[in-house]
Chains A and B, each alone.
Chain A
Amino acid sequence: MKDSQPLNSSTKNNPTYVDENSQSYDESDIVPSLEHTLDNFKDCIDLTHRTFPHINVNLVYFDHLIGSDELARDVIIPLSQVREYEVQSLLKRSQYQLATDSKTVIKGILNGDVAIFYKDLTYLISIYKPESRSIQQSETETVITGPHDSFIEVAMSNLSLIRRRLKSSHLKVLKLQVGEVAKSDVYILYIDGIANMDYVQQLVKRIELIEVDAIHDGNMLIQYIDDFPNSIFPLFSTTERTDSAISKLVAGRILGILDGSPSVFSAPASFFEFFASPDDYYQRWAIGTATRVLRFIALFITLSFTALYVSVTTFHYEMIPEALLLTITESRSRVPFPPIYEALLMEVTIELLREAGARLPTKIGQTIGIVGGIVIGQAAVQAGLTSNILIIAVASSAIASFVIPSYVMSASIRLIRFSLIILAGTLGDLGIAMGTAYIIIHLSGLTSLNSSYITPVAPNNFDDWRDVFIRAPFWALRNRPSQSKTPNVIKNKMKK
């Protein structure tokens, strides 16, 4: 466990780290006492110190981290009903854990335990129950059919959501900690016998090596542990959906839950995995397949539509059929800029609208989106700043980008689109081809937990194609994905 490791010199010397770290490390040799504990939490006004003078018992805890009912039931009422000579026998019950060092006591209080000081003995009882939002529908990964519950910020609730659906003793959970200051819990989940243990070890090792003040979200955590932190593409997949997380576990992937984040990450991940949605499996296979194909078409549209417009109107007018040429020429006739400026102007506007819409409350956000889109679009055409055809191209590629189920992947692709537009404005179709070549070269070099990021294309596995580029009928989906390198390949023994 991370806690048992000594802090390195850089951490100790770093003034930004709170003194408590080095202090709490030394605490392991100190016998716990009330005075010492109160001294540690000096100036923490949210700490509660309660005394039972008649039995000589002191309680120390954070009121906001524990459940008040549990406190009354397991601590207050039993302690109120006993006499001093009965306290010792009461505290021998299994829920009260004797703490032998000060570090454990401090850590316990911070983790939502109640510290009970009786004479020179200290006991801890865990009644951790912080306030949290209820389980709700995910706003970033909505589905039409299928389960609607999603993860929340409390890791225990998330674990409960998974355990409820995966009733197997083979589902193993490891606990780690990240953040030298925040000390957030990270739970690594895998199914014993299905997951490849090499991946589990690699993941644990990478998390153990993290040395940073605090990590606030699963999407942030994965940037510390993925194989290529400089890449624009997300190398681990994240989800807020329970069903999606479970499907990944069953596929032989490893899951990570960070306490305080509703985003659960899974690894190893493939580039094509980001184009699948749980919806695909809840619909008939033909619809699932059509939707998946549509998403890959959306990828093509997002990346290339505006770039092709720029390329064609700058260098390759010959590609436009005669009937369409008149419309495009007429549309562009009032625009005084080269197509690349025109396209970049509109793309930046669309991004501004998207960002504004995302930051504002839902109702205002929608209004901004619709009004801004129509007004700016219409006005830009009328003012002669842009052509109608470009508005169509930009709008199509913006809509297509939102078809990609993973918001993180969609954002990466939207950014790449800008470089393709610039290349198209510089070298035409050749620029687009060169940009595409670069993207492919970059993708080819990427790995997720040391497994190829573009699997099942390379290394090629046609079996996997049935659940990547299409959603074949369930009888045809027999094997777990090859990327999981699972020791147990068969996932479906049913025949047609």
Chain B
Amino acid sequence: MREKLHPFHITLLVFMIQQGVVVFSLPRLLALHMGYNGWIALFAYWGITTLNIMLISIVYRLCDGQSIFHIIEQSLPKIVVIPLYSFMILVWTLIGCMAAKQYVIIYQVFVFPTTHPMFMKFVVDVLAFILVIKGIYNISKAVTSFFWLVIWTVLLLLFFIKGFNWVDLTPFFFHEASEPLIGSLNIYTAFLGYELVLLLFPYSEKGKRFMKAVHIGNLFTALTYIAIAFICFGFYSFNQLKRMKYPVIDLLAYIELPFVERIENLIFGIYIFTALIGVVMYCWAAIETTQRIIPKAHSNWLSAIIIATAFAISWIPKVLSEVEKWLQYLGYMEIGIAWGLPLILIFILLFKKRRDESCIERSES
């Protein structure tokens, strides 16, 4: 019997997919696009993502834990299914590869200015490949271990209680916000990742606890973001925050211990665990979808091809701003998938339910 994912592991999986490099620039994005006390907007984001997860809950309840691919393929013609799948594969593969590239370039900028980023990208992709071929159950096991190695870093925020200044929070709310519409979408990308649970239905233990676990994971992400953003808004002045590229990395640079200081590179190095999980899970989603188009393909070869393709594509954007631009547009598309896919599925499932009911009525009469 295939082992199923326990709700606890679903929670950690959701949390770890959502956590990514964007957390290091999130306070700046909030300051820039939400204005003074922009961190409060994170509550709204949590509310919106919760609504999205509720839509996924409806899908889960209606399909009774079946694979979403199964539902789509049963109801939609192949001519619609294949382009839809191809779009999903493209977006997920590109998100995976660009997230890795973003992480690598930031690290390169900070530590290895002379090293070619694609060398580091290659190592990250090899790690991603090794993990992705182990299957979702082993991925979730790795995620659990990575979680414990990463989560303690949140405690580092305690170092900034002393430097926290309530005055920096100011009595203004969302004042001086620029490009709120585009900006709010950019901030929303920090929460993306939960939508991949749509693919986890057949791999998880059936029951209400599954979706509860997703909600808890999302809540945990929101609380972490709120804590980090709150500390940043109280530690830096508003204008300072707007000008810093990665305020959280700079924040970590303030930590001084008797034996070690400037631990930002070390902590950023540790965050490869979360970046890796993001890459792996998006690639895994792409592989799962590709397998629906080419069911006879060997999964290891498929994984190798998808990751190699992602690696090849990641040569295109050369600098960080280009990568961020790619990620921005891919993020918008992913927001579309996160909201669109559950809505399509709900529509299909309700339509199917109605058709089944009318069939039963007709047969009874």
Q: Which residues of A contact B (CB under 8 A)?
A: 315-316, 318-321, 324, 427-430, 432-434, 436-438, 440-445, 452, 454, 457-460
Contact = CB atoms under 8 A, between A and B. Distances in A.
Contact of B9 (A429, A434, A440, A459): A459
Contact of B142 (A319, A433, A444, A459): A444
A398 to B, nearest CB: 20
18 contacts: A315-B112, A321-B258, A321-B261, A428-B269, A429-B265, A429-B269, A430-B269, A432-B269, A434-B272, A437-B272, A437-B273, A437-B276, A441-B127, A441-B142, A442-B130, A444-B139, A458-B143, A460-B144
Contacts of B145: 440, 443-444, 454, 457-458
B123 interface: yes
Nearest to B280: A441
A436 B149 contact: yes
A464 to B, nearest CB: 13
Nearest to B266: A429
A460 B111 contact: no
Nearest to A438: B127
B260 interface: yes
A130 B127 CA distance: 53
A458 B127 contact: no
Contact of A434 (B112, B123, B266): B123
B262 interface: yes
Contacts of B263: 319
Contacts of A434: 123-124, 127, 272
Given A318-B262, A440-B142, A444-B141, A430 B111 contact: yes
Given A444-B141, A460-B6, A437 B146 contact: yes
Interface in B98-126: 107, 111-112, 120, 123-124
B134 A445 contact: yes
- B contact residues, range: 35 or more
B138 interface: yes
A459 B9 CA distance: 8
Contact of B259 (A316, A324, A432, A442): A324
Contacts of B141: 444-445, 452, 454, 458-459
Contacts of A454: 141, 145
A300 B269 CA distance: 16
Q: Dominant SS at the A interface?
A: helix
A414 B148 CA distance: 23
A433 B272 CA distance: 7
Contacts of A430: 107, 111, 120, 269, 272
Contacts of A436: 149
Contacts of B6: 459-460
A231 B147 CA distance: 24
B260 A321 contact: yes
A320 B261 CA distance: 6
Interface string B129-165: 0110010001111111110110000000000000000
Contacts of A443: 145
A479 B263 CA distance: 41
Interface centre among A436, A437, A442, A445 (most CB of B within 10 A): A437
A460 B265 contact: no
Given A430-B272, A437-B273, A444-B141, 8 more contacts: A427-B120, A427-B123, A433-B270, A436-B149, A437-B272, A440-B145, A444-B139, A460-B144
Contacts of A428: 111-112, 265, 269
Contacts of A429: 111, 265-266, 269
A235 to B, nearest CB: 15
A436 B270 CA distance: 9
Contacts of B250: none
A315 to B, nearest CB: 6
A162 B286 CA distance: 54
A441 B131 contact: yes
Interface in B241-264: 256-263
A383 B9 CA distance: 54
A441 B130 contact: yes
A316 B256 contact: no
A441 B134 contact: yes
B332 interface: no
A442 B138 CA distance: 10
B259 A460 contact: no
B8 interface: yes
Given A319-B261, A320-B260, A429-B265, A440 B270 contact: no
Interface centre among A321, A429, A430 (most CB of B within 10 A): A430
B83 to A, nearest CB: 34
B281 to A, nearest CB: 14
B101 to A, nearest CB: 14
Contacts of B148: 457
A316 B111 contact: yes
A460 B138 contact: no
A432 B261 CA distance: 18
Contacts of B107: 430
Nearest to B270: A433
A234 to B, nearest CB: 19
Contacts of A458: 9, 140-145
Interface centre among A321, A434, A438, A458 (most CB of B within 10 A): A458
Contacts of A440: 142, 145-146, 149
A429 B110 CA distance: 12
Contacts of A442: 130
Given A454-B145, A458-B140, A315 B111 contact: yes
A427 B138 CA distance: 27
Contacts of A432: 269
A430 B268 CA distance: 8
Given A321-B259, A437-B272, A316 B144 contact: no
A270 to B, nearest CB: 12
Nearest to A443: B145
Contact of A460 (B9, B146, B266, B276): B9
Contacts of B258: 321
A232 to B, nearest CB: 15
A427 B122 CA distance: 13
Contacts of B257: 321
